[in-house]
Structure 1
Amino acid sequence: MPQRPKRLTPSRGPLDLFGSEVRRYRQLAGLSLAQLADQIPFAASTIGDIELGKSSCDRVFAEQCDQVLDTREALAHLHDGLFDGRSAAFPKWFEDWPNIEGQAEVLRIYEPFVVTGLLQTPSVAEMLLYGDQEKVAGRIERQAVLTREDPPPPRLIYVLPERVLRSRIGTPSVMFTQLHHLADVASPTVSVQVIPDGEPHPGNSGAFMIATLPGGEHVAYTEGEPHGTIRDGRADIEKLFRRFTDISTHALPTSMSAALIREIAEEAWKP
């Protein structure tokens, strides 16, 4: 008996939406993965990964599928709407991460230098991205994952050292607004915890994020030079989990963290 196709969830993100449409048009054309692969220069396994939202693709793939599946350029048009400018909004090595965030049930983030992108105000994002409006828009759009309704937003656990709150980005007014945003963002799904100055901790090796996906799979993103890296190797993930746990033990509880953030905002950045 043939295996039932995996149910797709287009609302999880652009890769899933595009993949679900590829599958829909392929099935309407009555073609299997292998039969479609025979007519375009892409392997059946590649097509399968695209349909499942596991892999991105360039516009050529959409164009080839449109020709074979007689979609009247529907896939190329959808690709333009979902991905046009993606490479400009996000660096090549980071462009798959927003889709991973979109699938995550839990996000653990440690950022030792600046406020994490998911919680930056537009003004801070603009300063850090040197006014590149396309990149700023991409960063702010990522934040919608925290307020979506269907599927439910991921649980975000964010840890940062106190020095981030005292490192000036932009004007005092920009910092004041950013810190109050951090203090106010706490909810049943969002935690912000601060490591007080003077508290020794093992968090000096750079920023990283760990996404826990449905089914328990973990994927991580680590900052580094010359650029960041997406990691899914078991040894790497276990090491990052241990580091996050070790770092978190030095952080204040969320209520005390919020109080400290507001105190620093008033003391250091009030315009």
Structure 2
Amino acid sequence: MFLERQAPMSPRRQRPRESPALVAFGRQMRLLREAKNVKQETLAHLTKVSAPQVSKIEAGKRRATRAFAVAVDDYLGAGDALVNLWEDLNKDGHPVPIWFDWPVIEADAAMLVCYEQSVMPGLAQTPAYASAILHGNQEAVEARISRQTIITGDDKTVPPTLVIMVDEQALYRPVGTAETMKEQLEHLIALSLLPNVTVQVVLTSGEHNGNSGSFVLATMADRSEVAYVETAIRPITTDNPEDLSELARTLVDLRARTLTREMSCELIRKVVQEKWT
């Protein structure tokens, strides 16, 4: 299977470690905190995040959630100054800049639930499948495959719990050659054997909320949630409570139409034999 013969993954692409938007929020938060002679550890205890995370938020290296901004603003008596700044930097339901935010969240998540409507999730794609999707852009393929290092973790990191929900139609939709599809589906089965990974097939049966599009829901170590939603124009990263509630309802609908792990693997094997072999 693909997992057993995969070549060493390319190093992660280096991304800028700071963004003006995150730095601006962090600087304002630090000024407000220091004006009140409050320590970072106090805010960490208040918001139930670690002190290093608070430090990274102030340094512009980590995005704060809205709930964090509200709690800190209220504790510091900032009169909504910090909340208003957070909202200014998160207009249209997604934080600025999007390119900075999601890779950090994905790598730090304790749990990732991925739903894909028409193709395989990026975290589960083989190089050949990714190359077909990305029209042979090798740099983009390497960047996508390098993200998959989070699935198994390393000596210093614990891999997240990963739930991959694939719409049944994606098993039949040709991407690349028949060999590409065969390898891809066998890779899905191999992934499902990992202790931290669950692969499930969502049966294609009429209308359901998942028809609105693909998404990934990340649950962080502090139990906060952030979602990545794909649209025709651009991807959106959001922790807006209304957005998360809508995705929660969608997941309930999807899970009612989802096969068990064992039944999903059986169906995938059947499709490999009947369609792609």
Q: Indicate the TM-score class for this superposition, using the shorter chain for normalisation.
A: 0.5 to 0.7
| Identity value in percent | 35
With the length of structure 1 as denominator, give the TM-score of the two structures: 0.67
With the length of structure 2 as denominator, give the TM-score of the two structures: 0.65
Deviation, structure 1 residue 228: 1.1
- Write the letter of the residue equivalent to 1:165: L
Q: 1:200–1:256: structure 2 CA closer, same or farther, 3 Å change rule?
A: farther
User: In structure 1, which of residues 138, 148, 168 is the aligned counterpart of residue 153 of structure 2?
Assistant: 148
Equivalent position of 1:174 in the other structure:
180
Please give the alpha-carbon distance, in whole angstroms, between the structure 2 residues aligned to 1:50 and 1:124.
Answer: 40
Task: Note if contact 1:208-1:221 (Cα within 8 Å) is conserved in structure 2.
Answer: yes
Unaligned runs of 5+ in 1: 1-12, 20-32, 35-46, 56-91
Q: 1:147–1:52: structure 2 CA closer, same or farther, 3 Å change rule?
A: farther
User: Does residue 250 in structure 1 map to residue 257 in structure 2?
Assistant: yes
Mapping 1:177-196, distance limit 5 Å: 177-186=183-192, 187-196=194-203
Deviation, structure 1 residue 179: 0.4
Deviations 1:215-261 (A, max 9, x none): 11111011112111001111111211221122112100001101100
- Write the letter of the residue equivalent to 1:176: K
Q: 1:188–1:48: structure 2 CA closer, same or farther, 3 Å change rule?
A: closer
Task: Note if contact 1:106-1:213 (Cα within 8 Å) is conserved in structure 2.
Answer: yes
Please give the alpha-carbon distance, in whole angstroms, between the structure 1 residues aligned to 2:118 and 2:100.
Answer: 21
Please give the alpha-carbon distance, in whole angstroms, between the structure 2 residues aligned to 1:222 and 1:264.
Answer: 28
User: Does residue 54 in structure 1 map to residue 62 in structure 2?
Assistant: yes
Deviations 1:180-233 (A, max 9, x none): 100121122111110233365331000011100111111101111211100111
Task: Note if contact 1:94-1:228 (Cα within 8 Å) is conserved in structure 2.
Answer: no
User: Does residue 234 in structure 1 map to residue 237 in structure 2?
Assistant: no
- Write the letter of the residue equivalent to 2:201: V
Task: Note if contact 1:158-1:191 (Cα within 8 Å) is conserved in structure 2.
Answer: yes
Equivalent position of 2:68 in the other structure:
none
User: In structure 2, which of residues 217, 222, 230 is the aligned counterpart of residue 223 of structure 1?
Assistant: 230
Please give the alpha-carbon distance, in whole angstroms, between the structure 1 residues aligned to 2:57 and 2:228.
Answer: 21
**Secondary structure at 1:124's aligned position in 2?**
helix
Q: 1:197–1:246: structure 2 CA closer, same or farther, 3 Å change rule?
A: closer
Q: 1:48–1:191: structure 2 CA closer, same or farther, 3 Å change rule?
A: closer
RMSD: 2.6
Equivalent position of 1:61 in the other structure:
none
User: In structure 2, which of residues 104, 118, 124 is the aligned counterpart of residue 119 of structure 1?
Assistant: 124
Unaligned runs of 5+ in 2: 1-12, 19-29, 32-54, 64-96
Using CA pairs under 8 Å that are at least 6 residues apart, name the structure with larger relative contact order, 1 or 2. 2
Equivalent position of 1:160 in the other structure:
166
Deviations 1:106-150 (A, max 9, x none): 001111010000000000111111111111111001000001133
Task: Note if contact 1:111-1:160 (Cα within 8 Å) is conserved in structure 2.
Answer: yes
Deviation, structure 1 residue 93: 3.6
Q: 1:48–1:156: structure 2 CA closer, same or farther, 3 Å change rule?
A: closer
Please give the alpha-carbon distance, in whole angstroms, between the structure 1 residues aligned to 2:178 and 2:136.
Answer: 18
Please give the alpha-carbon distance, in whole angstroms, between the structure 2 residues aligned to 1:49 and 1:262.
Answer: 46
Deviations 1:70-115 (A, max 9, x none): xxxxxxxxxxxxxxxxxxxxxx744421111111000011110100
| Poorly superposed stretches of 4+, deviation over 4 Å | none
**Secondary structure at 1:204's aligned position in 2?**
helix
**Bigger shift: 117-126 or 241-250?**
241-250
Please give the alpha-carbon distance, in whole angstroms, between the structure 1 residues aligned to 2:109 and 2:179.
Answer: 33
Task: Note if contact 1:184-1:258 (Cα within 8 Å) is conserved in structure 2.
Answer: no
User: Does residue 201 in structure 1 map to residue 208 in structure 2?
Assistant: yes
